[in-house]
């Protein structure tokens, strides 16, 4: 049957199970948009900025486990996607991005709105395609979905010139595109699994550090089974938060730059680190030369290039975390580790990292605690980047798998608005709280219009300290309080702003109003924005300065009231 | 030229299509690996190219290069060659000053290196030589006495000796496609 390139794109997307697309039309991609009415099953969500499309697709992908899909036109449309694509690459999020390109016969002539987007995204995608013939569309999109969501997931970009969308070809789809150079290893090597099991059985002070890989492979039950069977304490990475229920007795927080001190010390004191789907990022290791020298390490990861990249390990296992755990668990002896678990409890007592100092002031931490209480740890929490992000990860008690969406590797400010939108589209029945900083919120707030347009009941909590808070904290600690370009003195009234969009706005200036505001927001049918005017110069503790070890950790003196400047 | 730095030879079978070389070079650049030579050409199979990289760095670096090459979708197979079990060659063209007095001496030296004189003019000779990097280095070094005007080298191509188990596995793999 004769089909146009644009029809083949839509049919290929539907065939891959895609039914939501985030995007904005423009000249080069118009032929694809004009085809959308023929495919009503393909829901298009019109965003206000292409960065919103790629970040919303990220939030959507994390919740559904399917690749998030975004459309943009050539040139500036495509380049606006870049921050979201880079974020997805860093956090291993599957995306399939379709960009329009100038007509194929004008490629390379600096035509209007021409940008070499495959060149630009080459180092920040798992793979990308420039399609010069409509006959290649179906195969490339099939491959794009497969590459994006297999092995270590990541973004894939498909760039299609305008005329290729219009090109009419005889179309007969045959599944089974060949990728001779791509076959991710998902089953761990039996010998290494045996070695790992032996190490676990022999260890006295083992600790599990669960990363994003546990969430991506949905190995929640297996992680819990391993931890319970051998009685091993579990810490997570930032992206691994919510891979293990935080009301579990074995949950020991998360380590690293702003992690709980007891988790960092436990990692340091362990004799065996069982690293599952994580990559020994510098926010965890600080100084890799001096990191956890007392322990042997088992490193399970699906990406062979992560093994030995940052830290040398005794037992590397390449494979999908879930598959590997299924193989390991039967070889594990039932354990007790009583004295080690007692030591962990002692560390928790010695380093009460989550204790909030007595104060009447309204702290960002109070807000997170209250949201955690009111939602009973069952909401989907989406954060931006900075102090509020660290407080959210520290003080919200996550009970549900995959319920923290945060930009970890890339640290993309502004993630909180579009990603929350994508998450709410993916899970319309769930409560989605977007925890925002006043800085990041202003980077992507135009998406409020998209949220209203699509009747998405996202709840926004702005922890408004009138500063780029984390940067200010660094200036306070490392630059003698010289606050260069971090004070936001011209912030809008966020409540009025919300109301301008037709969103209910609530302002909170006193600690006593927190709970009511949160309950009111939850009871309101529709999106709500709560502007929490929090203490301006509150800091995130504990803190291990960049490149340092746990011995240089700075902890908060909880007996002192929060300092007021 | 390696200038005495530790080098390793890696070969790769890659899909022969536009942008592949760019992708590979981009990976080297981004990860900060140094290529001291790179040679690309068609392989024995249609649609596949073979590349030879000479990479500066210790074994750990080479291991990471190999893993990151493997990660690229269009790279089908990567081999790290050991110096003992592989043959490596490059070809060089050298334009060297010569006159009636020096011509025969140059030809003698070139003869020792089993090189060829491929062009003669009144005051220059064009020498072609093949061999491993050290051999080419030595000849160029000797010829500098006469005044070298221009050196053009292809970069190393390399192949393992015999046929390794891995190689056989790979052959089966591509035959199945």
**Residue A147 contacts B, CB cutoff 8 Å:** yes
Q: Does A116 touch chain B (CB under 8 A)?
A: no
Of A181, A304, A305, the CB nearest to B15: A181
A327 to A187, A330, A390: CA distances (angstroms): 9, 7, 35
Instruction: Please tell me which residue of chain B has the smallest CA distance to A178.
Output: B177
To the nearest whole Å, the CA of B23 is away from the closest chain A CA by 7
Q: Do the chains contact at B76 and A127, CB–CB below 8 Å? A: no
Question: What is the distance between the alpha carbons of residues B1 and B21, in angstroms, rounded to a whole number?
Answer: 21
Residue B76's closest chain A neighbor by CA? A181
pLDDT of residue B1: 44
Look at residue B60 and give its three-state secondary structure: helix
Domains of chain A and any CATH numbers:
2-170 (3.40.50.970), 190-350 (3.40.50.1220), 364-540 (3.40.50.970)
SS3 A174: coil
A503 cis-preceded (ω within 30 degrees of 0):
no
- The pLDDT, as a whole number, for residue A106 is 97
Interface of B with A (CB under 8 A): 14-15, 19, 22-23, 26-27, 30, 60, 63-64, 67-68, 70-77, 173-174, 177
Q: Name the residue among A554, A562, A529, A324 with its Cα closest to residue A438.
A: A529
Q: For residue B60, which residues of chain A lie inside 8 Å, CB to CB?
A: 308
Question: Read out DSSP for A314-382?
Answer: SEEEES-HHHHHHHHGGGSPP---HHHHHHHHHHHHH--TTPPPP-SS--HHHHHHHHHHHHTT-SEEE
Write out the E strands in A151-238: 155-161, 168-170, 206-210, 234-236
For the B7-85+161-175 domain, the top CATH level (class) is alpha beta
Report yes or no: A531 and A508 within 8 Å, Cβ to Cβ. Answer: yes
Q: For the segment B4-52, what is each residue's pLDDT rounded down to a tens digit?
A: 678 999 999 999 998 999 999 999 999 999 999 999 999 999 999 999 9
**B174 — pLDDT class (breaks 50, 70, 90):** low
Q: How many whole angstroms separate alpha carbon A399 and alpha carbon A326? A: 23
Q: What is the pLDDT of residues A458-479, one digit of tens each?
A: 999 999 999 999 999 999 999 9
Which chain A positions have a beta carbon within 8 Å of B72's beta carbon? 181
A181:B173 CB<8 A:
no
A126 touching B, CB under 8 A? yes
Nearest to B96 by CA among B72, B128, B59, B69: B128
pTM for the whole thing? Answer: 0.94
- The complex scores an ipTM of 0.90
B16 min Cα distance to partner chain A (Å): 12
Mean pLDDT of chain B: 91
Rounded to a whole number of angstroms, the distance from the CA of B174 to the nearest CA of chain A is 8
Please indicate whether, in this complex, the C-beta atoms of B63 and A127 are within 8 angstroms of each other.
no
- Nearest chain B residue to A303 by CA distance is B71
Please check whether residue A131 touches B, CB under 8 A.
Answer: no
Quick one: average pLDDT of A552-564?
A: 70
Indicate whether A346 pLDDT > 70.
yes
DSSP string computed for A452-474: HHTT---EEEEEE-SB-HHHHHH
Q: DSSP state, A185? A: -
- Contacts of residue A539, defined as CB under 8 A and 6 or more positions apart, other chains included, come to A387, A473, A476, A477, A556
**Do B56 and B36 meet the contact criterion of CB atoms below 8 Å apart?**
yes
CB contact under 8 A, A122 and B26: yes
Domain B87-153 bears CATH identifier 3.60.20.10:
no
Q: Which residues of B touch A147 (CB under 8 A)?
A: 73
For A310, name the nearest residue in chain B, comparing CA atoms only: B64
User: Are both B7-85+161-175 and B87-153 of the same fold?
Assistant: yes
Put simply, whether A308 touches B (Cβ < 8 Å) is yes
Q: What is the CA angle A487-A491-A495, rounded to 5?
A: 140
Q: What is the pLDDT of residues A151-177, one digit of tens each?
A: 999 999 999 999 999 999 998 888 877
Q: What is the pLDDT of residue A174?
A: 81
pLDDT at B84: 86
Q: Which run of H or of E encompasses B49?
A: strand B48-56
Name every chain B residue with its beta carbon within 8 A of the beta carbon of A181.
14-15, 72-77
Domain assignments of chain B as residue spans, ordered by start? 7-85+161-175, 87-153
| Cβ-defined contact of B64 to A118 (cutoff 8 Å) | no
B161: closest CA of chain A, how far (Å):
24
How confident is the prediction for chain A on average, in pLDDT? 96
Q: Kindly report, residue by residue over A399-412, the tens digit of the pLDDT.
A: 999 999 999 999 99
Tell me what pLDDT residue A561 has.
46
Mean pLDDT of A244-267: 97
């Amino acid at each position: 049957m004769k089909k146009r390139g644009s029809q083949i794109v839509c049919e290929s997307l539907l065939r891959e199970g895609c039914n939501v697309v985030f995007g904005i039309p423009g000249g080069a991609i118009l032929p694809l948009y004009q085809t959308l009415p023929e495919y009503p099953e393909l829901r298009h969500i019109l965003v206000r900025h292409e960065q919103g499309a790629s970040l919303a697709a990220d939030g959507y992908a994390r919740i559904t486990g399917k690749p998030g899909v975004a459309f943009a036109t050539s040139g500036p449309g495509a380049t606006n996607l870049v921050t979201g694509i880079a974020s997805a690459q860093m956090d291993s999020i599957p995306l399939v991005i379709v960009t329009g390109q100038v007509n194929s016969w004008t490629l390379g002539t600096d035509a209007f709105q021409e940008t070499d987007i495959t060149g630009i995204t080459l180092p920040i995608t798992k793979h990308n395609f420039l399609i010069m013939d409509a006959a290649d569309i179906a195969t490339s999109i099939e491959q794009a979905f497969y590459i994006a969501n297999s092995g270590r997931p990541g973004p894939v970009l498909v760039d299609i010139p305008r005329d290729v969308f219009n090109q009419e070809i005889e179309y007969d789809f045959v599944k089974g595109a060949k990728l001779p150079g791509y076959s991710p290893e998902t089953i761990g090597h039996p010998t290494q699994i045996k070695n790992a099991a032996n190490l676990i059985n022999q260890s006295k002070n083992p600790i599990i550090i669960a990363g994003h890989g546990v969430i991506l492979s949905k190995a929640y039950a297996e992680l819990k089974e391993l931890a319970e069977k051998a009685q091993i304490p579990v810490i997570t990475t930032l992206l691994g938060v919510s891979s293990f229920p935080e009301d579990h007795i074995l949950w020991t927080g998360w380590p690293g730059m702003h992690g709980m001190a007891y988790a960092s010390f436990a990692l340091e004191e362990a004799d065996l680190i069982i690293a599952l789907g994580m990559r020994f990022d510098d926010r965890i290791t600080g100084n890799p030369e001096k990191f956890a020298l007392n322990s042997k390490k088992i490193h399970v990861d699906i990406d062979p290039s992560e093994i030995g990249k940052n830290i040398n390990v005794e037992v590397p296992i390449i494979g999908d975390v879930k598959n590997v755990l299924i193989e390991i668990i039967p070889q594990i002896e039932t354990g007790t580790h009583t004295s080690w678990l007692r030591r962990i409890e002692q560390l928790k007592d010695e380093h009460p990292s989550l204790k909030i100092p007595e104060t009447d002031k309204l702290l960002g931490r109070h807000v997170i605690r209250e949201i955690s209480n009111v939602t009973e740890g069952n909401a989907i929490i989406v954060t931006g980047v900075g102090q509020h992000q660290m407080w959210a990860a520290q003080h919200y008690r996550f009970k549900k798998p995959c319920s923290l969406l945060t930009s970890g590797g890339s640290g993309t400010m502004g993630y909180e608005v579009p990603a929350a939108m994508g998450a709410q589209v993916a899970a319309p029945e769930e409560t989605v709280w977007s925890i925002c900083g006043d800085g990041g919120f202003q980077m992507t707030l135009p998406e409020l219009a998209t949220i209203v347009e699509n009747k998405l009941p996202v709840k926004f909590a702005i922890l408004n300290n009138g500063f780029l808070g984390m940067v200010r904290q660094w200036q306070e600690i490392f630059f003698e309080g010289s606050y260069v370009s971090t004070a936001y003195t011209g912030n809008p009234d966020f409540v009025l702003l919300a109301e301008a969009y037709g969103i209910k706005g609530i302002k909170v200036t006193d600690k006593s109003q927190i709970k009511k505001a949160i309950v009111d927001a939850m009871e309101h049918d529709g999106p709500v924005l709560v502007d929490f005017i929090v203490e301006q110069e509150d800091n995130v503790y504990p803190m291990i300065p960049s490149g340092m070890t746990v011995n240089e950790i700075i902890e908060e003196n909880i007996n002192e009231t929060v300092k007021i400047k | 030229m390696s200038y005495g730095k530790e080098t390793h030879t890696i070969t790769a079978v890659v899909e022969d299509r536009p942008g592949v070389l760019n992708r590979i070079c981009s990976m080297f650049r981004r990860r900060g690996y140094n290529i001291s030579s790179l040679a690309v050409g068609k392989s024995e199979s249609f649609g596949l190219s073979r590349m030879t990289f000479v990479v500066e760095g210790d074994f750990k670096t080479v291991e990471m290069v190999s893993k990151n090459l493997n990660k690229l979708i269009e790279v089908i197979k990567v081999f790290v060659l050991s110096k003992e079990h592989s043959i490596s060659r490059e070809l060089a063209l050298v334009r060297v000053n010569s006159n009636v007095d020096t011509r025969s001496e140059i030809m003698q030296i070139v003869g020792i290196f089993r090189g060829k004189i491929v062009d003669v003019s009144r005051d220059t000779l064009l020498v072609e030589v093949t061999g491993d990097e050290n051999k080419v280095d030595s000849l160029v070094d000797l010829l500098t006495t006469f005044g070298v005007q221009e050196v053009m080298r292809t970069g190393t191509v390399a192949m393992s000796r015999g046929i390794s188990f891995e190689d056989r596995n790979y052959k089966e793999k591509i035959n199945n496609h």
